[in-house]
Each structure stands twice: as C-alpha cells, then as structure tokens.
Structure 1
Amino acid sequence: MAAVRRFPLFGARLPALITLFLPLLGACDDAAKAAVPPPASPVSFQSDVRPILEDKCIACHGCYDSPCQLKLETAAGLDRGASTEPVYKQRTRAADPTRLFIDASTTAQWRDRGFFSVIDSTEGLEESVLYRMLALGRAHEFTPGEPLPDDIQLGLKRTNQCPTPERMDDYAQTHPLGGMPLGTPALTEQEFATIRAWLAAGAPPGDDSVTLSADEQRQIRAWENWLNRDGKRQQLVARWVFEHLFLAHLYFEDGSGRRPDHFFTLERSRTAPGKPVVPVATPRPNDPPGGEFWYRLRPVRGAIVHKTHITYALSEDKRRHLEHLFFAEPWSVNTLPGYSEDERANPFTTFAALPARARYQIMLDDAEYFVRTFIRGPVCRGQIATDVIRDRFWAVFQDPDHDLYITDADYRASTSPLLGLPGQEGTLLDLGPQWIRYSKRRNDYLRQRHDAYARSAPSGPDWNSIWNGDGDNTNALLTIFRHHDNSSVRQGLIGDYPLTTWVMDYPLFERSYYNLVVNFDVFGSVSHQAQTRLYFDLIRNGAEQNTLRFLPPTARKTILDNWYQNTGKIKLLISYADADGETPTAIDYHSATPMDEFNSGLLSHFANINARPDPINRCADGDCVRPEAGALERRVETALAPLASRPAADLPVVNWMPEASLLLVDDGRDSTVYSLLRNRAHSNVAFLFGESLRYQPEKDTLTIYPGVLLSYPNFMFQVSAADLPAFATAMKNTTSQADFTALVERFGVRRTETDFWQRFHTPQRYMERHEPIQAGILDLNRYGNF
C-alpha cells in the first residue's frame, strides 16, 4: 500500500509520489486533455491560485448564497469545502449557523458539521471535486456568443447537486454540461495547469493572515480602548455601537478617498485586546454572550465581494463625535440591560437610558450605510425585504427637532413599550400569537403617534420637518431600487418621480434596522422569517403614512387607495391605519398631483445636498445631460435619455429587459459604465404571495444612470461610442422577442463570449477607478441566458 502524506491545514490525503508522475496524469484524463506543461516553479496559492479563483470562481462562490456553501473568498473557505445542506430553505426550527471564521475554526470541526473537501481525495488529485469540476468544464466547449443550451439551469432556483468525490461519476454522467465555471468559458489551459500542479503538490495551503501597519494598529488600539471602558454608561454605549456596526466593513478614513489597505469587522471576542480574536459565536449580535467578552476589531480576510461590502468609516473625528453625542449631556444608568427575549425584541426599552438624539443622529449621519445593511445585509440577497417594497422609491428622514420621540421625553416613555419587534420565537406555533401581539402594539403606537403630532403641530408638518442633512450631508436623500430578489441603495434622488416616497422618523428607522439586521437570522425558521417579513410590511406602511402627513388631507385617501389597489384594499381594512383626512399640512399645494408636487419640492428645497442630480430620467427642458458629465458621458446621456422613464406601453423593449443590466461604453480613449434598471409596477406590495397577480407590466419603466448601482447584474451590453445612436435606435424599435434577440446578438455580452470574464470584471475596474472604497467583485448567480 502506497505511503500517504497528510497536509495539516487541508487534511489532504494525496499519494506521496504523485508529483513524480505529473506528466502522466494528463494522459489519464480524457476530459481535460491538457497539453500545457506544469509551471516551471513551485505553484503558490497566494500568487498563482488565488488570482484564478478571484477571476473566475468567486463571482458565484461568495456569501451564504454560494452554491453548496463553497465560499472561495479565502483559503479557509476553500479548505472548509462544500456542504449538501442549503442555507436558504424553509425550516420548522432554526439551524445551527455555518459562518466561516465564527462557527468552527478547524478543518476537523467543519467535517463534523457535514462539510466535505473539494481538494482532497484518497484516490488521487484527479478524483477531487475541484479538479473534476474544472476538467468537466473544459471537456465541453460552448459555441462562442450563442445562448447556452436550455438544459443548463441557471439562477437562484437552480437545484445545486453538491456532489461528494464519491458521486462525481454520477454527476458528470447526468450533468455533462455542468462543469465549472458554470455556463461560461472554461479555465484556460495555463490556468488549469496551474490548479493541477497545485493539487499535485499537495495543495499547499494559502495564507489568509493580514499584516497591519503601525498606524492601523494604533487606531485599532484607540477604538478598542474606547469600546471596552469601565463604567455602566460606557458599556451601554459600546453595546449599542456594536449592535449597529457588527455588519460593517469598517475602515480608517484618511480623507484621500483612496481604498484602504484593509477593512475590519467589529466582533465580540472571548479574548482581550492584544490577543487573537475568538468570536462569541451567537447567531445574532444581541444574543446572550454566555460569559465575559471584549469588543475587538478583526481584519477582513480574502477577496471583497460587492454584495456584502457595506462600508463604514472610522476616524479620530468620528470617535470624538460619538463621544460628544453620547456624553455631552448628563444621564445615568443604574442597571445594565440583559439579553432576554423582551430585551432583544425592543431596542427602544433596552437602550432607553441612552440619549435618543444621539442614537438618531448617528444613524442619520451615515443613513446610506444603515439602509444598505437591511437592503444588502445578513441575508446576502435581501429576499426578506424585497417583496415588501416598490421597485424604486425615495427615502428621506424626519428632522430630529421635529421628531417627538427625540424631543418629548413623556411621549418617548409612553410609546417605547409599543415598539417591540416579533420574530424572537421561531416555531410555527408561535407565528400567529406573535403576530397578533406585535401588530396590536404597533397599531396602538400609531394611534398615540397621530394624536401626539396633531397636538404638538396643529398646522401640520412643513419642509423644516424633513432633515436637511445639517446643510451638507448627502445621506439625507436616498434612492432604493428593488431588483426582484435583491436591492440596492444610493445617495441622491435618482429616477423619475416615484409612486411612493418614505419619510422615516427615528422609530421607523431603528425598527427597520433591528427587524432586518440585528434580529434577523438567516439560518432561522420559516416562522421567524415570516414574522420578519410581515412586520416590515407594517414598517413600510408606517413610512408611507408618515409621508401622507405632508400631503393635502383631502387627497390622502385617494393617494393611499392608489398605492393599495385591488387586493391591497384588504390589507387597508385589516392591517393598516386609515388615512388621516383631517390634520392639515403646512405645505402649500397648487396642482392636482400632490405626490408629484411633494417629490418636486424635495428636489428644489434640498438641491444642495442631492448627491445625484438626474436630468437623464427627469428631462424637462430638452437638456438631458448632467452638468458634470464628461465628453463620453455626454454622448451616452444624449443618446439614451429619450429611453429613460418611458412606460413599457410606449417603449416595448422594457418588456424584455432584465431587472438589472449594465451598459459598457468606450470610445478607444475612455470608458464608462451605466446601470439600466427595470422598475416593475404593481397594484400593491402588501402580500407575501401572488406577486404576478398584482403585476402591471404596461407601467414598467427604465431608470438609466451612470455607475454600478447593483451587485447582481442580470445581463450586460457593450457598445462603442460610435454605435450609441444605433443601440438607442435598436432599443426604440424593439417590439418583439425576435427584435430583442437581435439586440442581444449585436450588443449583448452573453455568458459564452470567449472574453466573457474580462468583460464581466469591467464594472469592477470602473468602481476601482471612480469609487475605490466601494469596489468589489460582482455576483454572477443571476446573470441570464438571453
């Protein structure tokens, strides 16, 4: 029996003499037929293998929605391997979480949790899952530039097979076109030879460690010292800060706008500062820690994927700002809150001792970050939040000086007990009682809120009631896009006037955050997830009701009925508050379309803090180009503005456009990227199921705007500057599926293009040039087959 070598990190079992027979392995593999000799020098994971994974694998294999839980952003993820157990499934009870670097720390522990190796095989390298999947991908070439065969299943509804090494023969026989990378050009001969040589050498482990600069270490010490101070007040502040930053990719801001060397996460650790971080492995950040812990900053390891890259800047100024907000005025706390169910469910009572203005102001200062956490948060794909929101809407915030929860201590004390959130109990039997309990409290709160505002502001709200960003903060105006099962948010008011606009006060903002981020468990039960979704439905309605306060009282019911057409009226009767037709507004209206007039007022009153002025989608005077546009951008916007914001009934090509596309344009000297976002119209968004029954396709529109406004492209088009008029004409003339196919044939970037991967990463390179802090690898799992 041949001797066996063991490689500690990977637990690999490869024949010791395999490297001596590397030239013979190609002859044994009919599928690969590799003719390229192995690399002359020893293969390094860091310099040779990792770039291949980042270029052609991580676009699908990142975050919880990674097929078979094979996460390839880090060497540790590759070492952990794959699992047949999906993260996204309906469960009667919560599952044990499987978070890399948190829930297990060794290969053996991951094997005990059901993960199997993709690089190890007792039969030799050619039997490993990684090798065979890549070889299978090279065994079948697709016709360049043509659609994939229909029997290749793509998208999130794809049933992942997750074969173990023992089942690879069956997989290859049943899915001959299912090699990796799935449905795209295979690895090149040189790339495949590199992977092969690395496996043959025993898969020498990669290194995920991070070397910090002296300045980074200094700043880490400063923040950890601030967070771990003695004293009940300081401890309560630190807990609130942790629960609001645990999801962030933190970075140390130097004012340059350059991408930092490293990003960090904020953890609860069993170990004190100065020692390696040992995370407190609770499912949620406000679960009982079960012992002593310290708040620690830990470097983010491996590649950055865009969908989970939610950034938050740290600096000495920020720390001084937090200190001032929390401690400038005297307050005390006698007993620190615990982590019971009720305390986790209601952050308003848990943190009642903290100054309310400080809490709200911190969230306002970085509102895009906080909205992004529940849009792109722990669920990766935002599927809990998306089917409760419109495809595009604007969000603004109530000014702290006009928010009674901030200004009126008696009101705050009486309403806080009503602001708890459901979802802590996770069994199906809990769904009904929990929902009744919390929805009743929410309705009681709305009645109290209405009466209190009617007394405190009898003439109604005016423009001063909306936060103006303190004069210069562009976080005050946001646009949220829904792309079917995922969403994105950007600063500025983008697109034509939306059907709905949210005015969020502090209770709405904080409840959204705790409902969808802190208290949400991606591994939770179907009851937990349903309660989360149903309560966010009430939050959305609350934001809409708050907006109605700014509109003429006689128009409110008509507007609300328009938002909740057809079956939506059922929810108006049984779940939502009635429109207030009596309390006045202090804003003067002069048109028959007050909702549009309100949106117009936002643009005019807050123009100086609108981060993204948008004449492309709101072209009123014939000048549809942004004033700051460069020469190439002016050509793009001149050509495409006539397509923007037109309904599908008038521009039929919208009927065939994917949810979220990217347009790549170059003129030989410069290049740019535009997002083409389809806004689907619905009669209402009040129910979990039956979305197709509420769909109004003739009202769909396209929003066109520069930059990468998405994480999951469904398709890409590539056009030379000279062909922009032809592209625009083809879009205007598309009236059938055949026309759209011809458009794709000429301008589309299909998955089978020989240079697909180079083109797919073009938007990432654009982000690296224009917004380097936000750049990351886009996700390919939703890229269509047109």
Structure 2
Amino acid sequence: MISGTSLYIMLKNSFNTAAILILASVLALPACSSQSTMPEVHNDDIQLIKELPAKTLTYNDIKPTLERRCIVCHGCYDAPCQLKLSAFEGVRRGANKLRVYDKKRFTWQQPSRLFIDANTTNQWREMNFFSVLAEEESLSAEENLQNSLLYQMLSLKKRNPLPESGMLPDDLDVSLDRKQVCSGPGEFNKFAADHPLWGMPYAVPALSDEEYKLLVQWLAQGAKASKQVQPSEEIVMQINRWEAFFNGSSNKQQLVSRYIYEHLVLGHLHFKGSSDREFFRLVRSRTPAGQAIDEIPTTRPYDDPQGRFYYRLRPYEASIVEKNHIVYELSDARMQRYEQLFMQPDYEVKTLPDYNPGESSSYFERKLVMVKKWFGYYKDTPFKTFATIPAKIRYQFLLDDARFFINGFIKGPVCRGQSALSSIEDHFWVFFLKPENPPAPYSQHGLDGKFLTDMDEYLHLPTELGDTKRLFTGWIKYWPDEQRYMQAKMDYYNGGKQKLPQLPIDKALEYFIWDGVKADGAADSNAALTIFRHFDSASVHFGLHGKAPETAWVIDYPVFERLHYLLVAGFNPFGTLGHQLGARLYMDFLRIEGEDNFLYFLPTDARKQLYKSWHEIDRKTVPDERKATRAWLEIESVSGYKTVQPQQELLGLLSQHVASVRTEQDDLNRCDSDACVQSASDRSVQRLVKTLRGKILEIFPEVSYLRVGGEHGKAYTLIHNKSYRSDTFAKEVFDRSDADMEQDTLTVMRGLAGSYPNFFFDVKDSEVDAFVETCAAIQDRDDYDRMVALYGVRRTNPAFWTISDWFQDFHARTFPVESGLLDLSRYKDR
C-alpha cells in the first residue's frame, strides 16, 4: 500500500512536472495578419528566368542541393512548420502551423505522417497544410515564383545575408523549442518585414549562386516531380519471397509475422547486396502482392487494421536522414534464422490474439477498453499477446539485433528534447542476461514464459492508451504495479521455485551474462553497447566506449520488451501531454530495473552505497515506495571481489567477459598503449580526455565534430558527458549544481557519433597540438570564444557549408548503408 505521504509526493511531482513542461513550451504558433498579395519577383531572378534550361528540371535535379542545404533541418517530425522537404511529396504537401511535438497538448492530434496519413494534395489541404509552391496550372515562370512561398523564403535570404563573422544577430534564435512563425499564403509580406533575416536556409550562410539558380529555375518551371524508380528484377524477386513468408496462412506464421512486424515498424529494411541507398518499410496493406500498396494508417502497429490485410515491403522514397535511419538487413541468412528461431521449434498456436482498438475506433470502444485495462480485465501486453511463442525465442530475436532495437527509442520519435531523455545518464554501458540461464524471472531451462504471463496484470504500459485523464494517475496506477512485479520477481528466484546460490563473481558472469560468442565461435557485437545522451538527443554504439561510466545496465527480456512497446511500438508523437508524461514516468522504472540488475552482481555493501547514490541523493523517492525493490539489497549473491572498488572491478570483469566484442583497440579514452593510437593526431586529441574535465566542460557543446588535416584529414567526435544528480523528472536539468559539473567528463571517439552535431572545429595538422593546449588552458567563456575564433566554425562563417559537406561526405564514405544526412537544426552559435 502507498502511504498518504507517498501519494502526496507522487502527485506533487506529477503536477510540478506538468507545470514545468507547459511553461517550458513555446507559445502557440502565431498567425500573421493577412496580406492580399505576394511580393514581386526580384529583378535579379527575372534574369534567371530568361536563362531557363531547355530541359525541364525535375525534383531529382535539385535533390542534392535540397539534401545538403534544406533537408538537414527539414527532414523529420520536428521540421519547422512541418515542412518536410526530404521527398517531393513533402514539398507538394507544404507546411502546417501545428507542431508535432507539443508539450501542452491536452487533446489527441490527427497524425500527419508523410506517405501514410494522406495520399493526395486535397487530403493534406483538408488537414490544414498550405502550399509552398505555385499550384495553379498554366502560370508563367514569373507567376510560378511569385506564388511560391519556398521561392520567397530563398529570395529573402539572398537579399538579406548573414554577417560573415561573429555571433548571430539577436533576432535569430537557434534553440530547439524556438518560436516559429509559419507564414501562410498572403502573409509573407508582414513576415519579411518583421523578420528580414529569417530567410532559408535559416541562421546559416545563404546558398551559393549556382545552388540558388538551380532551385529558382526548378520553381519557375513549375516544380516538377521525377519519375519513380522501380526496383530491379532481382529486388522484386526478393520482395516476393519475403512477402510470401510474412503472409503465410498458418496461425503460427501469422503470429510470428505480427511479432516481427511490430518490432520492425521503424526499420529501414535493406536487402544484402543491393544498392547502398535502397530501403523498404514493412507495412500492413489492404492489397495483396501484385497490386499497388494501400497502407493502413493505424497510429500504432498493434492497433486493429479493421479487416483483412497483407504484409508488404514498401519502398522508402524519402532522403535518408541520420536521426531516424535504423537499418535492418534482409538476406538468405536472415530467412534461415527466422525459420530456425520461430518456425522449427515445436509449439502450437491454437488461436490468434485480438488487436488493440486504435484512435480511430469509436469513443465507446476506446472508453470500454480503458476501463477494462484499468481494472485488469484487458490483457494485451506483449507478454500475453505473444505468450504462445516461447519467451526464450522472443528474447533471442531481440538479442540478435540488440543495437537495432535500442536504436528504436534512441532514434525514434520519442527521443526528442531533453525532457524525453532526462531519465537516462549521459554515458553508460549496456550488457544483457543470457536467454539460456539468466537469474530471474526464469526457470533452470531458460526464460519462464508462464511467470511473465502470470505477471501480465502488473506489466501494462501507460502508452497503451493516450488519454489525458491519466495525466496525474500514472503514479497511482503504475508504480504499485511495478512494485508488485519486482516483489514477485524477487520471491521467484529467492523463494521456493529457484533459490540461487551465492557464486564467485567470475562464475556469476559466466553463468548469467551474454558474452556474444555464437555457436560457431563468431562474435556478436550486440553483446556490449555504449549509450551517450547528448542533452536533447542520444546515440548508441557497438562495444564499450569512453572511461568506465558512473552507471551501467544489465537488460533482461521483460525490460527489453517493455522498452520497445513503451517507446517505439506504443509511442505516439501526436499524443497528449498525458501520453508523453506517462512514457517518461515509466522509463524511470525501466532504467531502475536495468541498473538494479547490474547492482545484483556487486557485494551488498557496495550495492547499497551505489543504490543510495543513484536513487536517493536527489532522485528521491519515499522509502516506503521502494520497499519491494530495496529488499533484494540484503541478498548476498556474489563473492570473490579482490579490490576495495568493486564497481570498477566489476566493469573491468564485464569488459573482459565480452572481450570478443570489446573496443579497447579502437577506444582512445581507456588505452594507454600504442595499440590504440593510429596516428600523431590520435595521440594529440587523446590528451583532451585528461586535460578537459570538470566544470570547465560546461562551456563546451554536447557533441562537437573535429576535423584534423583539412580535406584529406581525419574526423573525431568530442562528447561532453554531463553528470546529473538532480531529480530530472521533477525539474529541468538546467539547474545542475557545481558538484554535478565537477563530475563532467569528455569522451573522444574516432569518426562521427550522434545525429546532431552541435559545433564544428577545423584544425590543420600543424595546429593540432596548439589546439589541444589552447583547450586545456580555457578558464572561462572569454577564453573559449578566443579558441573558437581560431579553430571554430560559427554559423556565420562563409566556410560553414564547405566544412559541413566534408563531414557529410566522410560519414557517407565510412558507413555507406547506415549513414544518413546529419541534422544541423541543433547546431549552436558557439
């Protein structure tokens, strides 16, 4: 039972959080006063019209320019004014004054996913999207430009360029949640008068003359689309083979296909051996193979499709942007793995589970389901839905591509802004329990699916329904359920069914932790991962990077599956404030479970000390609330530690345990030998790890890209790892104390990490040592600004695009399939 004091504190925290999120949100997008006419075409552009090429330009002709100059900020849900330029269909759709990410939305917002929620221009207009092109037919070239908002924004920037040095003018705000003025048709004159420096590209240098000419001439010719490229015969054969597999008729195949579909919903599927830039999405279509795909636009992948459907592989037609590019490979080996994993084992699927009523269901249907869920009569967690597929199989499926699935919530729509990420640390390592014999809640033969099914009533997620009425009831409903589950889990492996013996730590790791070694002796790089939080974004990497972190996770199947259904399959970016806060609240529970699994492998004294430092310094919860999960602190589970720093010893032992996939040879932060130093620049930038520590790092951006050696040089990423001891759910994390800042560290990685570079540094080979020494000598903001003046690339720098293109090209060369366009929308001014 929750005490009255506990309930008061929980509700107080929830109300405080809501108030903070609302106050931190920007005001509603302002509507500009209407003007009756669009501006005239600029005289210089009349000359461009006279020079129109004989060939009609199409979208493919201007696509490279859009990708490097426009899509880098207009490529995803958070594109300003929902103007998504990553496909011609997005340009034609236009803009909308509603935000997708709105922290104070109390009512459900109709989804507006490109290619999914509408298929025609008229349908988008009915959803209040307005055109940025001249849509009337038979207009002259000059009229096409005059009636194009896209042209007017480009022309505004051409006529009002930025200064070529120093900080941005005060009128240009580059913060993540800045005020947006979405100028609709007839409103541009006032917009231009009020904000002459807000032309496109926003807050960066203007297009080159050649880039500008190309875009203006495409618009003048009517902004024509390109012919759609059809897949090759070989790819069509692959598509047919995979669609036949997913659409098998047996109950077993249907349930397996549903499970795979609900987990690949964000994936960009790539056929092994095909073109590096050719990707597909697994969708549910009303039409079978051989017919045009008619995708069913449910909000969540487990919502009722309302009739018969077919799994289809739909070409991904938009430009590839790094921030939502999650690659999953399809191949002969993958097909064999599915057969081995799902189809060959002997289990029977007698009946198929129901689907969840979606947002499009009737009001009565949704309310009835909500009531049933509240009272525990509606069993639709993934543990119940897929109960007939053995839990060990489901877990092994996730482990096979652990980084892909974790990338689902790192790169998915849930991961937007620091409030969405404030439940995780800036730097931590991730390990996994074995599917064969993890400690709990499992039998000696592996995962115990019956236990998970019995626990179903305690494992419901707040994102199952996005009703705002649950805004302040999340603690009341889900925290007690979490405690009951944790108590049952502890009773299970410390009670009558399976009392685990105390083991030497080396044996405990061998017995419980997945080492990534496959049956054929090959190493699976998914066995050890590193996650970096970059304040308002994050990234996940194979292997162990950086110095030993403050915390680590050991993930088991119940945590892994709930992470996916909370933050990927069940998360709706168009949902209400209650939906968003519910996801954020429950993420805390899952983080605590992952950290507690790690603490299980420490002696009780060290476990208690770390537990207190992680959860009770300022991330407080009333002791009674943690009674169930605190009890296991008294259970001595391991022995054999040899040092007085068991946490560091455990991280070292874990690193050795996953030696087949560890990255010491590639990591510049933990290696002092020549084995990890490949060049003189490696040795120089490695010094930054030791010289830049503590409070002075607060001046540095979260993610900086460093080029050493010019056009043919090397690339590094400098990652500022912040220490958080404050209750990041109850208040904003801007209030970090001096004690927090003194624990900050720097990680240096070869290559490029993250999707959102915050700043570029460009250093000659001959200057790299001077750069390191200058950084080490920084004492305050003025010192930092002097360093930036020597080596930094501000938004006003005329070389900004040249350096940006170099990093984009480097990334594409390094990862030809997995790379996408790096996003510049969070690039800082210093």
Output the TM-score relative to the length of structure 2. 0.86
Q: Is the 8 A contact 2:502 2:638 kept in 1?
A: yes
Match of 2:343 among 327, 336, 341: 327
Which of 90, 93, 100 lines up with 1:87 in the alignment?
A: 100
CA–CA separation in structure 2 for the residues paired with 1:644 and 1:513:
34
After superposition, give the CA deviation of every residue in 1:534-591 in whole Å (9 maximum; x if it has no partner): 0110000011111111001121111111113533233665357216333223352122
CA contact (8 A) 2:502 2:639 kept: no
Shift of 1:75: 0.5
Q: Can you list the C-alpha shifts for 1:176-198, whole angstroms capped at 9, x where unaligned?
A: 11011011111222222222222
Where 1:568 maps in the other structure, the secondary structure is coil
AA at the equivalent of 1:588:
G
In structure 2, the partner of 1:390 is 425
Aligned twin of 1:671: 713
Letter in 2 for 1:369: F
Q: Where does residue 648 of structure 2 map in the other structure?
A: 596
Residue 174 of structure 1 pairs with residue 203 of structure 2: no
* Secondary structure of the structure 1 residue equivalent to 2:328: strand
Tell me if the contact between 1:719 and 1:727 (Cα under 8 Å) persists in the aligned partners. yes
How many angstroms apart in 2 are the aligned matches of 1:675 and 1:137? 31
- 1:108 is aligned with what amino acid? N
Does 2:319 align with 1:306?
A: no
Structure 1 letter corresponding to 2:127: R
Pairwise mapping of residues 364-375 of structure 1 onto structure 2 (< 5 A)? 364-375=399-410
1:245 alignment partner, one of 250, 254, 264: 264
Q: Distance in 1 between matches of 2:256 and 2:708?
A: 48
Aligned to 1:618: 670
1:192 correspondence with 2:201:
no
Tell me by how many angstroms 1:763 deviates: 2.1
Tell me, in whole angstroms, the C-alpha distance in 1 between the residues paired with 2:41 and 2:538: 47
Asked whether the equivalents of residues 553 and 580 of structure 1 are also in contact (C-alpha less than 8 Å), the reply is: no
Per the TM alignment, residue 598 of structure 1 is displaced from its structure 2 partner at its CA by: 1.1
Where does residue 638 of structure 1 map in the other structure?
683
Match of 1:709?
Answer: 753
Question: In the TM superposition, what is the alpha-carbon distance from 1:755 to its structure 2 partner?
Answer: 2.7
Which residue pairs with 1:360 in the alignment?
Answer: 395
Within 5 Å, give how 1:360-509 maps onto structure 2.
360-379=395-414, 381=416, 385-403=420-438, 404-405=441-442, 406-454=446-494, 455-459=498-502, 462-464=508-510, 465-471=512-518, 472-509=523-560
Instruction: Confirm or deny: 8 A CA contact 1:349 1:416 kept in the other structure.
Output: yes
Residues 380 and 459 of structure 1: is their aligned pair in 2 closer, same or farther, counting only changes over 3 Å? closer
Alpha-carbon distance between aligned partners in 1 of 2:48 and 2:206, rounded to the nearest angstrom = 15
Q: Distance in 2 between matches of 1:26 and 1:350?
A: 58
Contact 1:635 1:721 in 2 (8 A): no
Change in Cα spacing, 1:141 to 1:409, as seen in structure 2 (3 Å) is closer
1:717 aligns to what SS in structure 2?
strand
> Quick one: which amino acid aligns to residue 363 of structure 1?
L
2:705 equivalent in structure 1 = 662
How much has 1:700 moved relative to structure 2?
Answer: 1.1
Work out whether 1:111 is the aligned partner of 2:154: no
Of 731, 734, 740, the residue aligned with 1:692 is: 734
- CA deviations 1:297-335 (Å, max 9, x no partner) are 011113110001001111111111111111222111222
- CA gap 1:608/1:505 in 2 versus in 1, 3 angstroms: same
Task: State the match for 1:44 in structure 2.
Answer: 57
8 Å CA contact 1:38, 1:194 repeated in 2: no
| RMSD, aligned α-carbons | 2.3
TM-aligned CA distance change 1:671 to 1:41, over 3 Å: farther
| SS, match of residue 608 in structure 1 | coil
2:425 partner letter: R
Q: Tell me by how many angstroms 1:261 deviates.
A: 4.5
Letter in 2 for 1:463: L
Q: For the residues of structure 1 that align with 2:690 and 2:659, how far apart are their CA atoms? A: 21
How much does 1:259 deviate? 5.6
1:128–1:28 Cα change, 3 Å = closer
Q: Residues 26 and 32 of structure 1 are in contact (CA less than 8 Å); yes or no, is this contact kept in structure 2? A: no
Per the alignment, residue 88 of structure 2 pairs with 75
Distance 2:39 2:455 in 1: 71
| Farther off after superposition, 494-503 or 635-644 | 635-644
1:501·1:544 contact (CA, 8 Å) conserved in 2? yes
TM-aligned CA deviation for residue 611 of structure 1: 4.4
Distance 1:531 1:26 in 2: 47
CA contact (8 A) 1:268 1:294 kept: yes
What residue identity is the alignment partner of 1:269?
S
Aligned to 1:9: none
Letter in 1 for 2:253: Q
Aligned twin of 1:560: 611
Q: Is 1:138 equivalent to 2:158 in the alignment?
A: yes
> Over residues 695-720 of structure 1, what are the superposed CA-to-partner deviations in whole Å (9 max), with x where a residue is unaligned?
51121111100111100011110111
- Matched to 2:612, the amino acid is D
Per-residue deviation, residues 259-303 of structure 1 (Å, max 9, x unmatched): 634111100111101111111101111111111110010111131
Q: Secondary structure at the match of 2:793?
A: coil
Instruction: Give 1:421's aligned amino acid.
Output: L
In structure 2, distance between residues paired with 1:737 and 1:724: 21
CA–CA distance in 2 between the matches of 1:434 and 1:615?
41
The answer to whether the 8 Å contact 2:379/2:457 transfers is: no
Shift of 1:684: 4.4
CA distance in 2 between counterparts of 1:318 and 1:542 reads 31
Which of 151, 170, 189 lines up with 2:171 in the alignment? 151
Letter in 2 for 1:535: Y
For 2:186, the aligned partner's letter is E
Between the aligned partners of 1:268 and 1:41, the Cα distance in structure 2 is: 43
Find the residue that maps to 1:580 and give its secondary structure: helix
Which range moved further: 52-61 or 415-424? 415-424
CA distance in 1, matches of 2:351, 2:458: 22
Provide TM-score, normalisation by structure 1.
Answer: 0.91
Aligned length: 748
Contact 1:475–1:491 (CA under 8 A) maintained in structure 2: yes
Name the counterpart of 1:60. 73
Partner of 1:751: 795
2:638 maps to 586
Summarize the alignment of residues 185-224 of structure 1 with structure 2, pairs less than 5 Å apart.
Answer: 185-207=205-227, 209-224=228-243
Of 800, 817, 827, the residue aligned with 1:773 is 817
Task: State the AA in 1 paired with 2:297.
Answer: A
> Bigger shift: 680-689 or 268-277?
680-689
Distance in 2 (CA, whole Å) between partners of 1:574 and 1:544 is 17
Distance 1:44 1:106 in 2: 22
The answer as to whether partners of 2:41 and 2:145 remain within 8 angstroms in 1 is no
Instruction: Determine helix, strand or coil for the equivalent of 1:661.
Output: strand
CA contact (8 A) 1:31 1:138 kept: no
Q: Distance in 2 between matches of 1:683 and 1:539?
A: 18
1:100 and 2:114 matched: yes
Kept after mapping to 2: 8 A contact 1:224/1:296: yes
CA distance in 2, matches of 1:326, 1:350: 16
Q: Structure 1, residues 404-439: CA drift from partner, whole Å, max 9, x if none?
A: 444335433433442221223333322344542232
| 2:144/2:222 contact within 8 Å kept | no
